[in-house]
């Protein structure tokens, strides 16, 4: 990675292998939340006062921050809740073996290793202007019924982000099929079917000093839901 004042666009393939029918998975997170102190949960809740975000959009920020604060504990708590509930939901489909999250697969084992090495990374802070940028792209994805980082008018993430924060390091993650903050973050961290693990690397990034996020979850004509997370490096 180059400096925080150099544009960085993480070119990652979309996670199409996880795009499914609408999922209404209910997460039993009470037990997992109990593994974290009140102070830690408060520290992760940097979006708590962001009235321009929905509850699930705030959760996107919280769960990214928890994974960065203590990756191993996140892996053993919230991620396991998600996988258990997701796999149970997928049992109704005839192609369950392809859809399920396989705990012996390389993407799962590599995530376990990667998160074990994550401790006390700086938290992300939400930003209203950047969330507006993310929301416009999410609406574009729905309105024109496509799934790509390049917008319908040809702009890439660095171009859209530069409209509000020029000359900064930046990046973008997209996820499809989930309406919940936890579902979207677990999906991106697992990066099933994404060889370069680019979404995971973006969330756990330190080298480009990305510290500010804009988030939006919107409806999608094909995939029911789409989530856009834009990242930028700003002085704090």
Which CATH number is 223's domain given? 3.40.33.10
Structure tokens at 190: 């697992």
Domain that holds residue 216: 16-22+38-68+120-232
Looking at the domain assignment, is residue 57 inside a domain?
A: yes
Looking at the domain assignment, is residue 29 inside a domain?
A: no
In percent, how much of the chain has pLDDT > 70?
Answer: 87
Q: Taking the C-alpha atoms of 66, 72, 73 and 78 in order, what is their torsion angle to the nearest 10 degrees?
A: 70
- Split at pLDDT 50, 70, 90, the class of 20 is very low
Looking at the domain assignment, is residue 105 inside a domain?
A: no
Looking at the domain assignment, is residue 209 inside a domain?
A: yes
Q: pLDDT value at position 15?
A: 45
Looking at the domain assignment, is residue 110 inside a domain?
A: no
Structure tokens at 120: 């006390």
Looking at the domain assignment, is residue 85 inside a domain?
A: no
Kindly state the average pLDDT of the residues 112-137. Answer: 97
Helices (H), 4-100: 30-33, 38-44, 55-69, 71-76, 78-90, 96-99
The yes-or-no verdict on residue 17 having pLDDT over 70 is no
Q: pLDDT value at position 30?
A: 59
The yes-or-no verdict on residue 43 having pLDDT over 90 is yes
Looking at the domain assignment, is residue 228 inside a domain?
A: yes
- Split at pLDDT 50, 70, 90, the class of 232 is very high
Whole-number average pLDDT of the chain: 89
- The Cα 190–Cα 66 span in angstroms is 15
Query: What is the number of domains present in the chain?
Result: 1
pLDDT tens per residue, range 48-95: 999 999 999 999 999 999 999 999 999 999 999 999 999 999 999 999
Contact assessment for residue 147 and residue 218, using Cβ atoms and an 8 Å cutoff:
no
Looking at the domain assignment, is residue 103 inside a domain?
A: no
pLDDT tens per residue, range 125-166: 999 999 999 999 999 999 999 999 999 999 999 999 999 999
Q: pLDDT value at position 3?
A: 36
């Amino acid at each position: 990675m180059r400096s925080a004042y150099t544009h960085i666009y993480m070119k990652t393939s979309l996670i199409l292998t996880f795009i499914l029918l609408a999922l209404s998975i209910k997460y039993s997170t009470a037990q997992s939340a109990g593994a974290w102190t009140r102070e830690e949960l408060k520290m992760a809740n940097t979006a708590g006062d962001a009235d321009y975000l929905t509850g699930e959009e705030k959760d996107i920020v919280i769960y990214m921050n928890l994974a960065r604060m203590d990756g191993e504990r996140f892996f053993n708590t919230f991620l396991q809740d998600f996988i258990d509930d997701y796999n149970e939901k997928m049992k109704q489909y005839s192609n369950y073996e392809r859809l399920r999250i396989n705990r012996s697969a390389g993407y799962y084992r590599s995530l376990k290793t990667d998160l074990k090495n994550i401790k006390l990374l700086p938290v992300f802070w939400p930003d209203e202007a950047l969330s507006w940028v993310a929301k416009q792209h999410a609406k574009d994805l729905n309105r024109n019924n496509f799934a790509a980082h390049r917008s319908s008018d040809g702009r890439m993430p660095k171009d859209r982000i530069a409209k509000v924060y020029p000359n900064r390091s930046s990046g973008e993650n997209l996820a499809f099929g989930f309406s919940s903050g936890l579902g979207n973050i677990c999906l991106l961290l697992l990066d099933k079917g994404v060889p370069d693990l680019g979404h995971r690397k973006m969330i756990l990034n330190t080298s480009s000093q990305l510290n500010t996020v804009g988030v939006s979850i919107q409806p999608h004509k094909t995939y029911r839901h789409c989530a856009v997370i834009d990242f930028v490096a700003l002085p704090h």
